Every structure is written in structure tokens, then in C-alpha cells.
Amino acid sequence: MKIGIDANCIIFDRSGFGRYALNLVKNVLKVDQINHYFLYASFIRKPERRKILEDLVTEAKNNNVKVKIIPIPARWKELLTGFPISLRNFIKEDLDLYFAPHFAGIPVKGFDHNIVSIQDLVFMKYPEHRGRRLSNYYLKRTKIALKNSEQIIASSRSTKNDLIELLDIPKEKIDVVYLGVSKDFMVNKNVIKTNEIIAKYIPKETKYILSVSTLEPRKNLPVLIKAFSLLPNRLKQEYKIVLTGGKGWNNRELQDTIENYNLTDKVIFTGFVPDRDLSYIYNRASVFAYPSLYEGFGLPPLEAMASGTPVVCSNKSSLPEVIGKAGILIDPTNEGELAHALEKVLTSKRISEQMIKRGLKQSKKFSWKKAAIETIAVFNQYSSKYHAQRKKIPPKKAL
């Protein structure tokens, strides 16, 4: 098959969508040496962005992969694909299938056979968190993607259930493919290198509770601040909170909570941290806390487990699927419950070591290679179904 892949979110998005797309596509290209792949990206001004795609091809060692640049800027492409303007005006290859790792990659018009990956429906669950206007736009584009796709890849059973319940998608049209965890996230880091990297973001010898996410309302970080305030004084003196991730939107409540609880000197914001450094920050944390209200999958808790860090995590949406019995699941709306769980991990070496052991075992159930194999199976499943349907169509009689 000739398979086109929308590669824009790989080069323009550093958050969850971009990391998912990069790791998935990288492994698909390595695993599948049979199908032919075309990576489509919008006009790229920065050479380092184009290099990301070129590196994917080099690492894949796959002669069946080509990078194709669409001669329009990314914003124009997203705007154009929302209208009935065919992408075939820009893409000349005769594709059998077009895959978009992000809902906005599926055009209103352009290809007969599409597969889309849906990570979450946060814009329906919590529309107020991103603003009504943006949430309505996401909903509109998601409906276009779902309508125009042969098959849908959901990031979890929770996301699959949301698609069925909220958008009335037939269950047989949805395949669940879990995300993976990069090999960068592992235990037994070199101590000297760990100290050097962490010093770029966190003061030397700081003991900390870590949370990793874009700073936005559904991550529910004010509850973590309140939970920290409930810890015994000796723990508050010994530990700090490290919040790693880029600034999102509507995070005023987080700042207000920190100030209202007089914890300004106890909270460290590192900003966005690239994966190559992030693994060291996970590895050194005493405990990882993730009180998110809603996740389509939840990469950070998985990365924390793979890094050998105990995880205290929300019991909502997809997170129990990822954590299993390896971490402590809590009600994210109850700061007292979160505080109790944090105290238990921080004061008991036995509990902490048990959680680390279980977390490492649980994290091995997820890999990007496995995600790639299952994604390729969806592509091939579509191909088999399509050719089977074509065989049923009687040939036209000669006039």
C-alpha cells in the first residue's frame, strides 16, 4: 500500500500530540518495511524542523519512506482542510490510505480512505477549560475526521467509550492502541550526568515531588498544592514541588493557590523540558503526583513508572488502565486523600520500593514498537477489508 501520513504535528507540536506522533511514526517506519510511506508536512522555514523528518527516514533505514513538503504554511493548511478544498491539489501521489495522528489532519475533502487517531475528547468533557470557541472548533474538526475516516484508533478503552457515548461512533469502527514509553525513560542513570542535567532546572540536592504536564486547568494542579500544604511540617521543610511543562491556558488559579497558601518558595517551575533531560528529572523524584481530572491516555505516569519513580495518580478516565495496580489511585478532587498517599510514600521506604518494583513491571507492558505493530495491523486490516469488498463488486459488462 501507499500510505500518506500527516506529519505536521510531529514538527510543530512539542506537547502530548507531537510526542505521540513522533514516537509512533518513528517506530512504524522502522517496523514496516513492506508498505510505502509518504510524510507530508507544510512549508518549513526552520531547518531544524525539516531535520526531524529527515532523521526519521535515516533512523528507519527504510527505502520505502519519502518526505513530501506541501508548499503552504501550516496555518493555511489547517484552515484549508476545514473547507471542501481537495488536498489533491497539493498531494500528487495516488495514495491507498491517509493516516492522521491528530484529528485536524483529516481534511473535509481530499482522500477516499482515511484513518485517524483520537487521543481524547477533553473539549467535550471540559469545554470551559479551553474556552468555548476553541472547544467548538475542536469538536467541529473531530466530527469531520470521524465522518471521513474508515477506521479510528483510540488511545485507550476510556477514549473508545467516550467516542461511543458522546459521539455515537459504532464500536466496531474503533481500535484501541495504547501509547508506548520511550527507552529514554529508565532507571540506573549515571549519577554525575544526572546531577549535571538536573542542575539546569532544579537547585542542587533538592528533594522533590514531581508533576509533569502542560499547565492547564484539567491537570488539576491546585489540588496538588493544597495537598502539599496538608503534609506534616517536617515533610514540607524537606521537600519541594517541581512542576515541569509548558504554560497552557487559564492557569491563574494555580498561581493564586500557590500565593494563597504561602508556598511560593516551595514550588519550582522548570518550564518545558525535552525528553533527553526529562528522564533524569523523573528518575531523581521521590514521588510522582498526577491529579489530572481527565486523560485520553496519560503518558507522564507511565514515564515516571519506567523511570523507577513511585506514582500517586488520579483514578479518573484512562489512568487506571495505564497504572494498573502499580501506583496509588486517588480521587483527584480530594486533597486530603492525595496528601495521605504522598505522606505514605515519602515516609515508608518499604512502600516506596514496592511501588517502584511494581511500576517497572507495569511499564514494560507498553512500548512504542508494540503501538507501531498494532497501528500497522489497523492499516493492513483496512486494506484486507477494502480488497475483499472490491471482489464482491461484479465487473462491468462490456457494452
Q: What is the pLDDT at residue 388?
A: 56
Task: Tell me if 339 is assigned to some domain.
Answer: yes
Task: Tell me if 397 is assigned to some domain.
Answer: no
Please give the tally of structural domains in the chain: 2
pTM, 2 dp: 0.90
Task: Tell me if 399 is assigned to some domain.
Answer: no
The answer on 358 and 372 residing in a single domain is no
Q: CA 386, CA 388: separation in Å to the nearest integer?
A: 5
Q: What is the pLDDT at residue 385?
A: 65
b/e per residue 257-293 (b: at least 16 CB within 10 A)? bbeebebeebbbebeebeeeebbbbbbbbbbbbbbbb
The answer on 305 and 219 residing in a single domain is yes
Task: Tell me if 19 is assigned to some domain.
Answer: yes
Asked whether the beta carbons of 147 and 289 are under 8 A apart, the reply is: no
The answer on 165 and 20 residing in a single domain is yes
Name the least confident of 10-19, 23-32, 207-216, 323-332.
10-19
Average pLDDT over residues 61-80: 83
* Tens-digit pLDDT profile for residues 142-197: 999 999 999 999 999 999 999 999 999 999 999 999 999 988 888 766 788 888 99
Q: What is the pLDDT at residue 72?
A: 80
Q: Which domain holds residue 65?
A: 2-180+367-392
The answer on 60 and 43 residing in a single domain is yes
Q: What percent of the chain has pLDDT over 70?
A: 94
The answer on 305 and 159 residing in a single domain is no
Task: Tell me if 258 is assigned to some domain.
Answer: yes
Is a pLDDT exceeding 90 seen at residue 82? Answer: no
The answer on 240 and 126 residing in a single domain is no
The answer on 198 and 63 residing in a single domain is no
* Tens-digit pLDDT profile for residues 23-69: 999 999 999 999 999 999 887 777 788 888 888 888 888 889 999 98
Task: Tell me if 387 is assigned to some domain.
Answer: yes
Task: Tell me if 185 is assigned to some domain.
Answer: no
The answer on 221 and 357 residing in a single domain is yes
Type of residue numbered 60: A
The strand pairing partners of 176, in sequence order, are 154
Q: Which CATH number do you get for residue 205?
A: 3.40.50.2000
- Output 299 or 90, whichever has higher pLDDT: 299
Instruction: Pull the grid cell for residue 388.
Output: 475483499
Q: In the Cβ-directed half-sphere of 332, how many Cα atoms lie within 13 Å?
A: 21
Query: At 251, is the pLDDT very low, low, confident or very high (cuts 50, 70, 90)?
Result: confident
The answer on 171 and 200 residing in a single domain is no
Task: Tell me if 398 is assigned to some domain.
Answer: no
The answer on 374 and 359 residing in a single domain is no
The answer on 201 and 100 residing in a single domain is no
The answer on 375 and 281 residing in a single domain is no
Q: How many CB atoms lie within 10 A of CB 18?
A: 18
The secondary structure of the chain in percent helix, strand, coil, rounded to multiples of 5, reads 50, 15, 35
